[in-house]
Amino acid sequence: MKNAIFGSIHSYFETGDIYGRKVANSGFIGALFAADPFAEYHFFEHDTAESRTGLQAYKDLPAVARGAVRIFSRANLAAKLATVEYHCFHMADPLGDQAALAVLRNRVAPKLFPITSVNHSINYIHYGLAFLPQIWPGATPREVIGASSRAAATVIKGYFTQLRENYALPETWGEPAVRIIPLGVDTERFASPKDAAYAGLRRDARARLDAGADETVCLVHGRITVDDKMDLLPLLQALRRVREIAPGNPVRLVVSGRPRAGDRYVQVLQATAKAMKIPFNLVTDPDETALRGLYAAADIFSSPSDNLQESFGLTMLEAAAAGLPVVASDWDGYRDLVQDGVTGLLVPTLAPAATPFLDDYAHCLPDNIHQLCRAQQTALDVPALASAIARLAKDKALRRSMGEAGRAMSQKFTWRSIVDRWLACWDDLWAASIPPQKEVACRKARHPANLDFARLFGRHPSTLLRYGDAAPADDARMPEETAPEIPAGDLTVRTSARGDAVRGRKDVCVTWMGLEHCLEGVDIRRMLVLARHPVTVEALADRLCDGGEEKTKSPGATPETACFAILWGLKHDLLEIVTS
């Protein structure tokens, strides 16, 4: 694979606020650069400046240090796809761009390379419409969505099933396959109870929390929002019960993470804990050192999730890597990360089987309010939660054995092992052959969401130029839909006086950035030479398409880019229409 090239049109080098998606993407790309299995890594970005800044965080990793990571503008994408044989393109999320890239790949790429992605949150209202474009006639067996958990795989497959049913889509239309490939964790970030420095780290961190020697510290870490993460009030109610059923085992709750600016949720938690006389610490925006200390200070990690946005649970892996037993809701991807009774305890949840009114109301609600409505009818078994925490609070040996089992389990989720699974996936997708007739059909397929804009806005200009493989006007088109058409063979042009000056390098012409792909393969100066004498647009475009004497050095224009160049030349007074 050392001669292969990796590509992506998603940014892995984002700056700004930290969320689980960014943590996961950073972990993956860092492990990929460290393993360095590819010859080059090409990223096609909207904001190349931000990406180059973000890339500096990886400058010491082998792939970056040897200069193999290259960042291009999205304007370069089509040209690169046409000339570079990529091994794969991997997306940081399956939403929005996966189908769009497949359309362009089918049109211009020499080989149908794999296009893969990995899910993060998959619950937002518009996501159904984001998955819809991925069901289309040109989908190949080399499109895959990596589901981070069994629960996520069920949801993603469910999206495709319901969309097919609701839109009555043909069975012959393809869709991405779904493979379960989880997210990972950097196990070396967290101190093990067996590490020499662990005792000091734990002692100092517990002192900062004012945690007594007899207190069991229960840590919750993540976004501190009731509508976009989880409601912690049931956990406080459970801790009230713990004090009643196990008064000799006091539990201190530590909530760590980022609260939403202006949100009163934090104040509600603090006030509730104070009223219940539950020892409570709030740690906002801990840095890496502080977070390592919190995991070392804790005795139990808890995540009573109730929100649909959760599909995996990175903090579960972090806690396991830190050697903590976990008490979590029996919910979505948590089941893949917590082995009940071995690495932690899962608490039952109850939710409605049908929500027809909320389903219909959802598209009129903000995402966070819709999530809140769903979460507030997901009932966590509070007595069972209290029992699980009390059990661990009074049994240090059980905490230790579960923590050791969790740390051993976390070794299966190292980012290097996850990268290896993706490398194997890409190899598997190349091994799956695509029959020639299937490839031809996929390359010819037009995506149903890719509208014919020339026809859609066909009444805007006064006249339409028709050249090349564009479909001729047919009877199905209403006469008023488009402006009158003129065949390219009926329109004659020639180089203007300004065009002669540009051709002779006595004048200059500005080409705006972003037009490179529209002029691909066109030699403007050659066009001006060919049009020194009157010539039909059809003849001029044909000669531009043949590549001329430079054909062996670079491909000629396509009918579309040749037509673009001629119209662009007319627009900028390089060419002029010859009237009889």
Whether 144 and 216 map to the same domain: the answer is: no
Residue 14 confidence (pLDDT): 75
CA separation for the pair 170, 150 (Å, rounded)? 27
Phi, psi (deg, nearest 5) at residue 218? -105, 115
- pLDDT band of 479, cuts 50, 70, 90: low
- Do 178 and 193 belong together in one domain? no
Alpha helices in 195-313 (DSSP H): 198-209, 233-245, 265-275, 288-297
Percent of the chain residues topping a pLDDT of 90 = 77
> Is residue 58 in a domain?
yes
Indicate the residue type of 144. V
Report CA-CA distances (Å) from 348 to 332, 340, 412, 449, 509: 12, 11, 26, 42, 70
Separation CA 418–CA 407 (nearest Å):
17
Q: How far apart are CA 104 and CA 111, in angstroms?
A: 12
Question: Residue 142: which H helix or E strand, with range?
Answer: none
pLDDT at position 553, please?
A: 41
The total domain count for the chain is 3
Cβ contact 133:94 at 8 Å: no
Confidence of residue 1 (pLDDT cuts 50, 70, 90): low
Q: Is residue 154 located within the same domain as residue 26? A: yes
pLDDT value for 157: 96
Residues spanned by the domain of 567:
454-577
Q: What is the pLDDT of residue 526?
A: 93
pLDDT at 285: 93
Residues 470 and 525 in one domain: yes
The amino acid occupying position 520 is E
DSSP per-residue codes, 241-269 = HHHHH-TTS-EEEEEEE-BPTT-SHHHHH
Q: Is residue 532 part of a domain?
A: yes
**Tens digit of each residue's pLDDT (9 = 90 or more) over 72-82:** 998 889 989 99
Over range 209-225, report the average pLDDT: 96
Q: What is the pLDDT of residues 226-280, one digit of tens each?
A: 998 999 999 999 999 999 998 989 999 999 999 998 899 999 999 999 999 999 9
| Residue 149 main-chain phi, psi, to 5 deg | -155, 170
Running DSSP on this structure, what letter comes out for residue 365?
S
pLDDT number for residue 96? 73
Report the pLDDT value the prediction gives residue 46, as an integer from 0 to 100. Answer: 84
**Enclosing H/E stretch for 465:** strand 464-466
Pick from 252, 306, 257, 322: which is nearest to 280 by CA?
A: 252
Task: Find the helix or strand (DSSP H, E) in which 98 lies.
Answer: helix 98-108
Contact 14, 43 (CB under 8 A): no
Residue 554 has pLDDT above 60, yes or no: no
- On whether the pTM is more than 0.75, the answer is yes
Do 69 and 43 meet the contact criterion of CB atoms below 8 Å apart? yes
Q: Rounded distance, CA 459 to CA 477, Å?
A: 12
Residue 17 lies in a domain: yes
Q: Indicate if 159 and 203 belong to the same structural domain.
A: no
Q: How far apart are CA 490 and CA 465, in angstroms?
A: 10
Residue 20, class by beta-carbon neighbours within 10 Å (0-12 exposed, 13-18 middle, 19+ buried)? buried
**Mean pLDDT score of the chain, rounded to an integer?**
92
Q: Is 465 exposed, middle or buried (0-12, 13-18, 19+ CB in 10 A)?
A: buried
In a domain, 564, yes or no: yes
Q: Does residue 573 surpass a pLDDT of 80?
A: yes
Is 551's pLDDT higher than 70?
no
Helix (H, G, I), strand (E, B) or coil at 441: helix
Q: Is 193 found in the same domain as 172?
A: no
Using only C-alpha atoms, the chain has a radius of gyration, in whole angstroms, of 30
CATH code assigned at 35: 3.40.50.2000
**Residue 529 belongs to some domain of the structure:** yes
Whether residue 107 is found in the same domain as residue 249: no
Q: Is the domain of 405 the same as that of 384? A: yes
125-184: per-residue pLDDT in tens?
888 889 999 999 999 999 999 999 999 999 999 999 999 999 999 999 999 999 999 999
Q: How many CB atoms lie within 10 A of CB 190?
A: 23
Residue 25 maps to a domain: yes
Looking at the structure, tell me whether residues 160 and 83 fall in a common domain. Answer: yes
CA distance 195 to 205: 16
In this structure, what token pair is assigned to residue 331?
């919910």
pLDDT tens digits along 17-53: 656 778 899 999 999 999 999 999 999 988 888 889 8
Say if 449 falls within a structural domain.
Answer: no
Which alpha helices (H) appear in 445-533, and where do they start and end? Answer: 453-456, 497-503, 524-530
Residue 328 Cα distances to 167, 169, 257, 380, 504, angstroms: 38, 39, 17, 10, 75
Q: How confident is the model at residue 547 (pLDDT cuts 50, 70, 90)?
A: low
Q: Beta partners for 347?
A: 329
Q: Count CB neighbours of 422 within 10 A.
A: 22
Of 476 and 170, which is predicted with more confidence? 170
What CA–CA distance (Å, rounded) separates 530 from 518?
A: 20
If you ran DSSP here, which 8-state letter would residue 133 be given? G
Angle among Cα 112, 117, 119 to the nearest 5 degrees reads 155
Name residue, tokens 């996961």: 24
389-414, pLDDT tens digit by residue?
999 999 999 999 999 999 999 999 99
Cα–Cα dist 536/488, whole Å: 7
On whether both 387 and 473 belong to a single domain, the answer is: no
In a domain, 9, yes or no: yes
In whole angstroms, how far apart are CA 535 and each of 139, 468, 559? 42, 16, 16
125 and 57 in a common domain: yes
Count other C-beta atoms under 10 Å from residue 126's C-beta: 11
Helix (H, G, I), strand (E, B) or coil at 477: coil
pLDDT for residue 552 is more than 60:
no
53 and 25 share one domain? yes
Per-residue pLDDT of 355-383, as tens digits, reads 999 999 999 999 999 999 999 999 999 99
Convert the pLDDT of each residue in 175-210 to its tens digit: 999 999 999 999 989 988 888 889 999 999 999 999
- Residue 311 and residue 388: Cα distance in Å, rounded? 23
pLDDT given at position 489: 93
CA-based nearest residue to 258, from 23, 567, 90: 23
Nearest Cα to 101, choosing from 183, 181, 176? 176
